[in-house]
Chains A and B, each alone.
Chain A
């Protein structure tokens, strides 16, 4: 018997609409309202300027380590913009722009990055999970949420974010597989920023794309230019519509680049060339989108300048507010809050020990 090819049901496409010079492929241009375009632009701008401000604050010792998002704003916002408030966003840890879109306050991000758990609040009218640090582990939570939404016969959908490094984790495989088997309403968004700290994506996988991994799980997958917000928007619209209609999960690979360090504790000069970073700076998602909006007449040069000022003022207000709030935060006894629904007796005893120590200003035998 001769060997015969097996027909696989999915093929993998690459989608780009707005090239790095901001030139549009008019045939592929998605239909987005002017209002939404401006909201997206403003959110990108806030994401960018806030990231820059956080870096300053970190370098001045006013907040702790944080993971910059610069250059990945389009990959986040083009996707998350399709969620309704009641939907679920399950982030990794480099989705600040998406979290802000979902109602998280700038203050809360500053507060959290300065070591106060109080900053990890989720906007009360949004169903999102908090930041998840262990790489890829949150993918499975998205599957459970999607399963539960379907069980409750709700049309809520779930969107989860992760990076290229996460695709090497077992939880990525398990999440994709469970998601596919149970046909849950989940959109898996991989922000392939090409670096997991010092490890390039070529060291994570031999696959030509992350998107093609979808074929193995029997679900649709697509690779998009992740610095092109129109392409991300179009692919995410398809995926979220499919999920909401009961068509199961989709894997979207947003090809982007981490132009900054992994976190502020990292020095990328140790493992990659400035030339490579420079190339990607030239593919910036914000300037590209700006040009598109100016060309389209949605944004004027005047609007742009006004918006720049307004955003910087908003960030300044948030920094001031956060620093004021943090002055009255940090009662050490609060570290015992929310460990259990009710504090068990031995733990209440430990809290009491600390309370006595704090009351006297020195350690006291219990």
Chain B
């Protein structure tokens, strides 16, 4: 085991999958010579050559469109969109083709491709460099939308994403890239896509989160224990879509209370879908209204104000406190 940042853990996943399978190809802006602007692909061009790690011209739609052609041929492209805020320029290629070619071709052309993109705020970046728009992808049938919450699960999920026979949008929280280190085993490790994880057991309240918001959610759970003696169960979604509600429903049936935390705007965000599923399957167990702690329904502000936008531990604790009072 080595202690790694999420950047290093993702790099390990890519490196090992490329060693195992010569159909894995990396492409994107600055992924080769430069190793990616966040260095996730550092050293891979040196190891695998320019044929496997491809520096492309600057055009998001073409990076994804080309990946679709590569996937139709049977390769497994892993393309990087430098910031998720620029992925709208390739939105149509994902929505119109990556997500549909399997079905349009009656199963002839599965789309085994991964689109990696850094997402989220908290790193004092420019406009278009801080948003969380996972709901766009989660709303598209045919896609899988994955967001890890730390180095170890990032590595395991990336391996699974590369091997997945369907297109995976893989969001990497910039705020987590170098925020902390975790033990990551050298030997292969995968995590199933489409399965949330219970990361803290409790009985009084269920807290559901993912990505960069998992850590403040866990901190809030700790505050609730120390301050109120309330034991919160915490679930890390890991996969936004396809959303498997089973573990969420079971937990809420046990606790009767739920708080959902994400950085994405509140309206029509992932939290809205989770609330709907809980209402369908756990309504009669609820003892309090479900709370959503999310980004406001505005464009994330420039960084002087972003702290007030992104859900904080205090905001999560306050929401949890309201549900516990009922």
A residues in contact (CB < 8 Å) with B = 90, 117-118, 120-122, 129-130, 132-134, 137-149, 151-152, 170-171, 174-175, 177-178, 181, 337-341, 344-347
> Does B287 lie at the interface of the complex (its beta carbon under 8 Å from any beta carbon of A)?
no
Interchain CA distance A134-B97 in the complex, whole Å = 9
> Does B93 lie at the interface of the complex (its beta carbon under 8 Å from any beta carbon of A)?
yes
A147 and B66 contact, Cβ closer than 8 Å, known pairs A339-B142, A341-B165, A341-B166: yes
Which residues of B lie under 8 Å from residue A118 when comparing CB positions? 106
Question: Is A144 in contact with B70, judged by CB distance below 8 angstroms?
Answer: yes
Interchain CA distance A272-B106 in the complex, whole Å = 39
Interchain CA distance A132-B166 in the complex, whole Å = 19
Which residues of A lie under 8 Å from residue B227 when comparing CB positions? none
> Does B242 lie at the interface of the complex (its beta carbon under 8 Å from any beta carbon of A)?
yes
> Does B2 lie at the interface of the complex (its beta carbon under 8 Å from any beta carbon of A)?
no
Contacts A339-B102, A346-B245 known; list 20 others, CB within 8 Å: A121-B106, A122-B105, A129-B109, A137-B92, A140-B65, A142-B69, A144-B67, A144-B70, A145-B69, A145-B73, A148-B73, A170-B61, A175-B62, A177-B62, A181-B57, A337-B107, A339-B142, A340-B166, A346-B243, A346-B244
Which residues of A lie under 8 Å from residue B142 when comparing CB positions? 339-340
Question: Is A134 in contact with B92, judged by CB distance below 8 angstroms?
Answer: yes
B residues in contact (CB < 8 Å) with A = 25, 51, 56-57, 59, 61-62, 64-75, 77, 92-93, 96-97, 101-110, 141-142, 144, 164-166, 194, 242-246
A130 and B141 contact, Cβ closer than 8 Å, known pairs A145-B69, A181-B57: no
Question: Is B107 in contact with A146, judged by CB distance below 8 angstroms?
Answer: no
Question: Is B96 in contact with A140, judged by CB distance below 8 angstroms?
Answer: no
Question: Is B62 in contact with A143, judged by CB distance below 8 angstroms?
Answer: yes
Q: What is the number of contacts between chain A and chain B, taking CB atoms within 8 Å?
A: 133
Question: Is A144 in contact with B69, judged by CB distance below 8 angstroms?
Answer: yes
Which residues of A lie under 8 Å from residue B73 when comparing CB positions? 144-145, 148-149, 152
Which of A140, A339, A345 is in CB contact (< 8 Å) with B68?
A: A140
11 contacts between A and B (CB under 8 A): A117-B104, A129-B101, A144-B66, A148-B74, A151-B51, A171-B61, A177-B57, A178-B57, A340-B144, A341-B165, A345-B244
Closest CB in chain B relative to A227 CB, distance in Å: 30
Question: Is B57 in contact with A344, judged by CB distance below 8 angstroms?
Answer: no
Closest CB in chain A relative to B142 CB, distance in Å: 6
Interchain CA distance A171-B65 in the complex, whole Å = 9
Q: Who on chain A is nearest to B110 by CB?
A: A341
Which residues of B lie under 8 Å from residue A147 when comparing CB positions? 66, 69-70
Interchain CA distance A81-B173 in the complex, whole Å = 50
- A118, A138, A339, A347 — most chain B CB neighbours (10 Å): A339
Question: Is A146 in contact with B69, judged by CB distance below 8 angstroms?
Answer: yes
Question: Is B25 in contact with A117, judged by CB distance below 8 angstroms?
Answer: no
Question: Is B107 in contact with A174, judged by CB distance below 8 angstroms?
Answer: no
Which of A130, A140, A339 is in CB contact (< 8 Å) with B105?
A: A130
Interchain CA distance A345-B73 in the complex, whole Å = 29
Closest CB in chain B relative to A166 CB, distance in Å: 13
Which residues of A lie under 8 Å from residue B96 when comparing CB positions? 133-134, 137
Q: Who on chain A is nearest to B56 by CB?
A: A178
A144 and B68 contact, Cβ closer than 8 Å, known pairs A117-B103, A177-B59, A178-B57: yes
Which of B62, B103, B244, B245 is in CB contact (< 8 Å) with A339?
A: B103
Question: Is B66 in contact with A143, judged by CB distance below 8 angstroms?
Answer: yes
